[in-house]
Amino acid sequence: MQILTPHKFHIPVMGLAYSIDSPIKVARFGINSTISIIEDNLLEAMRKHYSKKYGEDYVFISSKEKDYRIKRITNYLSLVQRLVNIEFEKIKASTFTFGSDLMKYFEMLPDSGELKNIFEKFLLTENVSEKENLAVLLKEKMKPGAIEVNIMTKVDKDNLDKNNLPIPNASDALTALKAYACSDLKDSAIVFSAGLNPRLYNYMEDFREFDADVSGYFHKKVVIKVSDYRSALIQGKYLAKKGIWVSEFRIESGLNCGGHVFATPGLLMGPILNEFKEKKEELLESLFSLYNPAIIAKGQQGFPKPHPIKITVQGGIGTSQEDNMLHNYYKVDSTGWGTPFLLCPEATTVDKETLQLLLNSKEKDVIRSQSSPLGVGFNYLKGTSAETERLNRIEKGAPGSPCTEKFLVSNTEFTKKPICTASRKYQKLKIKQLEESDLSEIEYQQQKEDVLSKECLCVGLSNAAALNYEVPFLKKQQAVTICPGPNIVNFSKLSTLREMSDHIYGRSNLMHQKGRPHMFVREIELYIDFLEQQITRTQNPEKRMLKNWGTFCNNLIDGIDYYRELLKKQILENNQEEFESSLKKAELTILKLKDSLLKTG
């Protein structure tokens, strides 16, 4: 039997620092949240901070120790579990008094849940005996939120021995996986994002921590973040053949999200969710038909029926109406609210300067940039200290970053040993190559701009926590990068955890901006902008590219037709006329784009 969370939403991973200690802040209230475990230097700094705060002994784990990375990650995660247990038990041991965290736990719950109904009875009854019995029952049913961890599968640098040879099973993603498996986390989950990594998935097969017990319960569940149904099926089958069950597919909008963006070929969120809804049973049976024989072949006990699979969604959700639609119509098990929580210090960790930038951000300030060394789009807030630092280096004629962390080294264009495209070394060599090339002025400037736009994300996405808690782990490097989704412009005030939960469940409204488009409409706008940018950036497109763009347009038109059917069914509670007007405008833009592509071809 799987333990059910009392809340209908979760807090996804954000950057490296922004949700680094979210479980310590929110798990006591039954809210699930996700930590990135790639940057072990940051985790070690956080372990030092929280050990001191809670009076625990702290012994520094040096990078000279054997398996230091695994030890750092494991020790931090185990510490987080202990602290969550302490804080949760502290709440359970308290009394139902006005303003207490115990009252807050139940007051923040969704109004429709069983636990909230019992709590309402508790508040209303005047019978002393009944009140005492209900108080006991409420405490028995309390559950802490899950501590989830995230591994971005593309961040998997090999680590070398003294002879410069890769150490077996010691790459960044594999060591993070082992560290999680060895940690004390219970009722937890590991979230894999950014696509299938065969080496990582193959390595998982060595760990029994991801097996179900005889009752079918997983203490450490596997979650895959996907952009569409096909990706879920491919990755789910790959793991099922190895006897690994995926307990949740976490669907994220390809563009209407924070951080790295992985655009679909014009497939929109609504049709994607509908496919999951219609094919969920098919997905269950398909994976179980591979999983059960695989575990039996390993000598394990088979199961009579599939384990549960959750379907969750995140990316651009901004109102309780949208949240309700996702739960009620698409039957998702949970919704991910990330970007709005950046303005909730009770849940996330953002330094004061960057927090002020978020509060003042306008639509022009949040861009889909080329800042990531991974070579994919990256939703990014302009005006940060990291952007200022990068531009100052360019102005001084010394572009690029020192590259101290090296998690994103992958380029071997000029060197045998991979280097990062945000590094000084790479940018110096690349710009020299561009200067000596026979490019047109337009192509030269575009490629040069792409090179110079790369930022050190290892440092920039970590520093908010280092600054907030005064635990610097990098000398003379304090610049901060932050990666909210486009949705941030709709929120402009700091909120408490209670205020955010009230907003999500429709008990209040934190959104300041009038005329905000529905999340589905906003995603269409982002996809049109993405396509226009792709076309503009391509000087002499090949026939194959033109064909792909045509397919992209067709998929967008199909998505618009699908939304029109939803309007007829009155599924969308948004202003119907405004929604249809937005669809019409988008459709005309896409048809013009398609027509121009046909003329080009």
For the cut 50, the answer to whether the pLDDT of residue 9 exceeds it is yes
> Is the same domain home to 274 and 362?
no
Does residue 205 lie within any of the structural domains?
Answer: yes
For residue 29, give its domain range.
9-342
Q: Which pair of tokens denotes residue 225?
A: 């973040």
Q: Please give the order of strands across the beta sheet that includes 366-369.
A: 259-260, 378-381, 366-369
Does residue 118 lie within any of the structural domains?
Answer: yes
> Is the same domain home to 172 and 122?
yes
Distance CA 494, CA 533 (A): 34
Query: Can you name the residues that pair with 366 across neighbouring β-strands?
Result: 381
Instruction: Return the amino acid letter for 100.
Output: S
Boundary-marking domain end, from 481, 505, 528: 481
Does residue 504 lie within any of the structural domains?
Answer: no
pTM over 0.95: yes
> Is the same domain home to 361 and 312?
no
Q: What pLDDT digit, counting tens, does each position of 118-171 carry?
A: 999 999 999 999 999 999 999 999 999 999 999 999 999 999 999 999 999 999
Q: What pLDDT digit, counting tens, does each position of 481-501 carry?
A: 999 999 999 999 999 999 999
Helix, strand, or coil here: 343? helix
Does residue 233 lie within any of the structural domains?
Answer: yes
Share of the chain above pLDDT 90, in %: 95
Helix, strand, or coil here: 490? helix
CB distance 47 to 68 below 8 Å: no
> Is the same domain home to 278 and 365?
no
Give the relative orientation of helices 497-504 and 320-328 as an angle to the nearest 10 degrees: 60
Q: Which long-range contacts (CB under 8 A, 24 or more apart) does 373-376 make?
A: 373/408, 373/410, 373/411, 373/420, 373/421, 373/422, 373/454, 373/455, 373/456, 373/457, 374/154, 374/155, 374/260, 374/408, 374/410, 375/421, 376/260, 376/261, 376/262
For the cut 60, the answer to whether the pLDDT of residue 215 exceeds it is yes
Does residue 436 lie within any of the structural domains?
Answer: yes
pLDDT of residue 476: 84
> Is the same domain home to 582 and 470?
no
* Average pLDDT for the chain: 96
> Is the same domain home to 525 and 383?
no
> Is the same domain home to 93 and 218?
yes
Specify the pairing of strand 378-381 against strand 366-369: antiparallel
Helix, strand, or coil here: 421? coil
CB distance 202 to 243 below 8 Å: no
Closest residue by Cα to residue 473 from 60, 71, 19: 60
Burial tier of 449 (Cβ tally within 10 Å: 0-12, 13-18, 19+): exposed
Does residue 133 lie within any of the structural domains?
Answer: yes
CB distance 149 to 191 below 8 Å: yes
Does residue 203 lie within any of the structural domains?
Answer: yes
Distance CA 590, CA 584 (A): 10
For the cut 90, the answer to whether the pLDDT of residue 271 exceeds it is yes
Mean of pLDDT values over 441-455: 96
**How many structural domains is the chain composed of?**
3
> Is the same domain home to 30 and 97?
yes
> Is the same domain home to 363 and 336?
no
Boundary-marking domain end, from 433, 457, 481: 481
CATH of the domain at 332: 3.20.20
Query: Could you write out the three-class secondary structure of 203-269?
Result: HHCCCHHHCCCCCCCCCEEEEEEECCHHHHHHHHHHHHCCCCCEEEEEEECCCCCCEECCCCCCCCH
User: How would DSSP label each residue in 43-100?
Assistant: HHHHHHHHHHHTT-------TTSTTHHHHHHHHHHHHHHHHHHHHHHHHHTS---TT-
pLDDT of residue 1: 42
Closest residue by Cα to residue 518 from 168, 270, 232, 227: 270
> Is the same domain home to 337 and 436?
no
Whose tokens are 């071997």? That residue is 412
Mean of pLDDT values over 451-475: 96
> Is the same domain home to 390 and 320?
no
Between 511 and 315, name the one with better pLDDT.
315
> Is the same domain home to 476 and 431?
yes
For the cut 70, the answer to whether the pLDDT of residue 2 exceeds it is no
pLDDT of residue 93: 96
User: Could you give the angle at the alpha carbon of 274 between the alpha carbons of 268 and 280, nearest 5°?
Assistant: 130
Query: Could you write out the three-class secondary structure of 8-25?
Result: CEEECCCCCCCCCCHHHH
Does residue 508 lie within any of the structural domains?
Answer: no
Mean of pLDDT values over 553-566: 97
